[in-house]
């Protein structure tokens, strides 16, 4: 079982006839999925998604893959294959197309419609190639076959990539629901056929590799949602992913059955459901939908609201309702249904929202107290099934944190894949498929690129560290004026502090220490402004640490006269 090493260097040139795979995201994390395939100097990208920020990344809106590896080779990119339309697979496409607008986007009808709606907001008109399951299309040296997979969004696809180096099957995100609400099954027959032909490398979704058995069928959720709406005496507010068409359909069906009107709340929810309805993926009964701005005109017992915010996102509709920062006010007796699973890392934010909603008198129904969601990712039993169907010569787990990748690798070993043919990689690790063997060949840079408002890539890890310090410890600024010829103090020090928790009176007692430190440096002939700043920072930092056991950000301002 090969795995990355911290000291991996740049990869050598790709051998003739070899296929190179580099994941720029999605390995060791949930999100930011992006894989680059190279054959004979040409590139094929599979997915281009975003990662959502953690609480210790203040001010960050989105995290993108680092395109540096392909930035100088964008003209070599034949196409971007999009397996489905979740944000962690398509969210970074607008930022990639900013760098080369003409890259063809390959995907199913719904996937392309949702990404086009997103790109319209970025004023980008994409080049689209629509494909359906069972279809084969060639993009440069890459012969791609698309297979239907069942997931928590319609029209998801797996892709088999054929080159002279071999066949790679990339499952995308999938599950094996045998009674899907839309009747679209994962193409196990196609997987088996590829297994007979010979899968040289299987790259398979690892998100639920630690979960035993098979996932619950989507159809088991419908009766629970129906019961929640039937028994609720006032408004029902359902929070879901803005792309979960199946779940929204179940909510609408239950609302129509019980004579309630439905209002969609949140820009992405309105946009995505509009696209799904126009394409026929969402069946909306006549006169069911009402404008959210008119919702107060309807009796509470006749209303269902569907909104975003199931992951506790601070700016999403549900969080704002919990904080009483939204036109829709939670009232005593309302029912809030969180119809989604928890993305790892969001537990604290979601619990905070649940507490906020409960404070205002709402009954909150969630996965912890009712069966209101099933995962869109295959559990261990299903992953074993796919491994046995495809019988890959080499295996590479993808789409998951380290524990998920390791668990999936163990499943592959159980099915007979030799351990030295199992490749556990992380973002940036280069995997070459040469002569039927997949091996790690090196590594390239694949760091985080932060989106903060309109800036992309301008925020660094150092910037985030500064923000965390400011948020946790506050800051102290020290202004001094020195003679540029002698280095002697001519005015100040003047100290200002915010958020440090230190009484300003205490600074008056400390100022003589700064003066003495600067006098000593001036006596030594130090006139370098950088060195004087360092003296001020060290002196203040040592005093604050010794006196208060705190580490605020210290900003020395040295003016010359």
CATH number for 461-560: choose from 3.30.43.10, 3.40.50.720, 3.10.20.580, 3.40.50.261: 3.10.20.580
Tokens coding 103: 């890259």
Provide the 3-class DSSP secondary structure of residue 483. Answer: coil
404 annotated to a ligand binding site = no
Q: What is the pLDDT of residues 367-380, one digit of tens each?
A: 777 777 788 899 99
Mean pLDDT, range 116-129, rounded to an integer: 91
Out of 111-120, 140-149, 408-417, 494-503, least confident range:
494-503
66 annotated to a ligand binding site = no
Over 90: is that where the pLDDT of 533 sits?
no
User: What is the total residue count of the chain?
Assistant: 561
Q: Do the Cβ atoms of 49 and 172 come closer than 8 Å?
A: no
Q: Do the Cβ atoms of 220 and 374 come closer than 8 Å?
A: yes
Active-site annotation, residues = 205, 377
Q: Residue ranges per domain, the chain?
A: 19-213+375-451, 218-365, 461-560
Nearest residue to 374 (alpha-carbon basis) of 150, 86, 111, 155: 150
Over 60: is that where the pLDDT of 4 sits?
no
377 annotated to a ligand binding site = yes
334 annotated to a ligand binding site = no
- pLDDT for residue 344: 61
- pLDDT for residue 450: 80
Tokens coding 442: 């090196």
Q: What is the pLDDT of residues 343-361, one digit of tens each?
A: 666 677 778 888 888 888 8
CATH code given to domain 19-213+375-451:
3.60.15.10
The winner for highest mean pLDDT among 291-305, 425-439, 449-463, 499-513 is: 425-439
Q: What is the pLDDT of residues 164-193, one digit of tens each?
A: 999 999 999 999 999 888 889 999 999 999
Q: Percentage of residues in the chain with pLDDT exceeding 90?
A: 52
Across 164-249, the runs of DSSP E, i.e. the strands, are 166-170, 201-205, 236-239
- Which pLDDT band holds residue 3 (cuts at 50, 70, 90)? low
Over 80: is that where the pLDDT of 392 sits?
yes
Over 90: is that where the pLDDT of 398 sits?
yes
- pLDDT for residue 139: 97
Rounded-to-integer distance, Cα 266 and Cα 523, Å: 65
CA distances from 244 to 46, 87, 124, 225, 301 (A): 21, 11, 25, 14, 25
Rg (alpha carbons) of the chain, rounded to whole number: 28
Over 90: is that where the pLDDT of 107 sits?
yes
- Whether the full predicted model's pTM is greater than 0.85, yes or no, is no
CA distances from 172 to 26, 49, 93, 266, 399 (A): 11, 12, 16, 27, 8
Q: What is the pLDDT of residues 406-439, one digit of tens each?
A: 999 999 999 999 999 999 999 999 999 999 999 9
- pLDDT for residue 275: 93
Nearest residue to 449 (alpha-carbon basis) of 120, 62, 64: 64
376 annotated to a ligand binding site = yes
374 annotated to a ligand binding site = yes
- pLDDT for residue 296: 79
Can you identify the CATH homologous superfamily of domain 218-365? Answer: Metallo-hydrolase/oxidoreductase (3.40.50.10710)
Instruction: Enter the DSSP assignment of 555.
Output: E
89 annotated to a ligand binding site = yes
373 annotated to a ligand binding site = yes
Residue with the bigger pLDDT between 252 and 286: it is 252
221-231 and 245-257 are packed helices; what angle lies between their axes, rounded to 10 degrees?
Answer: 40
Tell me if the bond preceding 290 is cis, omega within 30° of 0. Answer: no
Q: Do the Cβ atoms of 143 and 152 come closer than 8 Å?
A: no
């Amino acid at each position: 079982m090969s795995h990355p090493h911290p000291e991996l260097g740049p990869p050598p040139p790709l051998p003739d006839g070899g296929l190179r795979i580099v994941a720029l995201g999605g390995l060791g994390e949930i999100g930011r999925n992006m894989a680059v395939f190279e054959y004979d100097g040409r590139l094929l990208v599979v997915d281009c998604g975003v990662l959502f920020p953690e609480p210790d990344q203040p001010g960050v809106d989105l995290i993108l893959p680092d395109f540096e590896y392909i930035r100088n080779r964008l003209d070599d990119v034949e196409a971007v294959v999009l397996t489905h339309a979740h944000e962690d697979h398509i969210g970074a496409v607008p930022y990639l197309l900013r760098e080369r607008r003409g890259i063809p986007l390959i995907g199913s009808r719904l996937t392309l419609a949702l990404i086009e709606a997103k790109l319209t907001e970025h004023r980008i008109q994409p080049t689209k190639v629509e494909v359906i399951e069972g279809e084969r299309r060639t993009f440069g040296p890459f012969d791609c076959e698309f297979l239907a997979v069942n997931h928590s969004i319609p029209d998801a696809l797996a892709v088999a990539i054929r080159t002279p180096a071999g066949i790679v099957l990339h499952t995308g995100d999938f599950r094996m629901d045998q009674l899907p609400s839309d009747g679209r099954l994962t193409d196990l027959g196609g997987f088996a056929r590829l297994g007979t032909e010979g899968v040289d490398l299987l790259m398979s979704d690892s998100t639920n590799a630690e979960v035993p058995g098979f996932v619950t069928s989507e159809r088991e959720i419908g009766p629970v949602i129906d019961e929640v709406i039937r028994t609720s005496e006032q408004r029902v507010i359902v929070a879901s992913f803005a792309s979960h068409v199946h779940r929204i359909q179940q909510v609408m069906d239950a609302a129509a059955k019980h004579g309630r009107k439905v209002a969609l709340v949140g820009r992405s929810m309105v946009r995505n459901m509009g696209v799904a309805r126009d394409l026929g993926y969402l069946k909306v009964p006549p006169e069911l939908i009402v404008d959210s701005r008119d919702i107060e005109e309807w009796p509470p017992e006749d209303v269902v609201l569907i909104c975003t915010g199931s992951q506790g996102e601070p700016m999403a509709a549900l969080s704002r309702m919990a904080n009483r920062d939204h036109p829709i006010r939670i009232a005593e007796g309302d029912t809030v249904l969180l119809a989604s699973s928890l993305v790892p890392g969001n537990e604290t934010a979601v619990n905070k929202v649940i507490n906020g909603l409960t404070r205002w008198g709402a009954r909150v129904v969630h996965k912890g107290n009712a069966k209101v969601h099933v995962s869109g990712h295959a559990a261990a039993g299903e992953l074993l099934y796919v491994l046995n169907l495809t019988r890959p010569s080499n295996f590479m787990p993808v789409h998951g944190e380290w524990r998920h990748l390791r668990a999936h690798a163990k499943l592959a070993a159980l099915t007979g894949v030799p351990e030295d043919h199992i490749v556990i990689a992380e973002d940036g690790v280069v995997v070459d498929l040469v002569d039927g063997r997949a091996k790690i060949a090196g590594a390239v840079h694949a760091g985080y690129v932060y989106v903060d408002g309109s800036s992309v890539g301008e925020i660094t890890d150092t910037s985030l560290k500064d923000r965390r310090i400011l948020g946790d410890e506050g800051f102290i600024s020290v202004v001094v004026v020195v003679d540029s010829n002698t280095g002697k103090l001519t005015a100040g020090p003047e100290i200002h502090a915010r958020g440090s928790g230190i009484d300003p009176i205490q600074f008056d007692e400390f100022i003589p220490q700064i003066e003495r430190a600067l006098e000593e440096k001036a006596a030594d002939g130090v006139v370098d402004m950088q060195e004087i700043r360092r003296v001020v920072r060290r002196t203040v930092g040592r005093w604050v640490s010794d006196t208060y056991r705190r580490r605020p950000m210290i900003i020395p301002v040295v003016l010359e006269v």
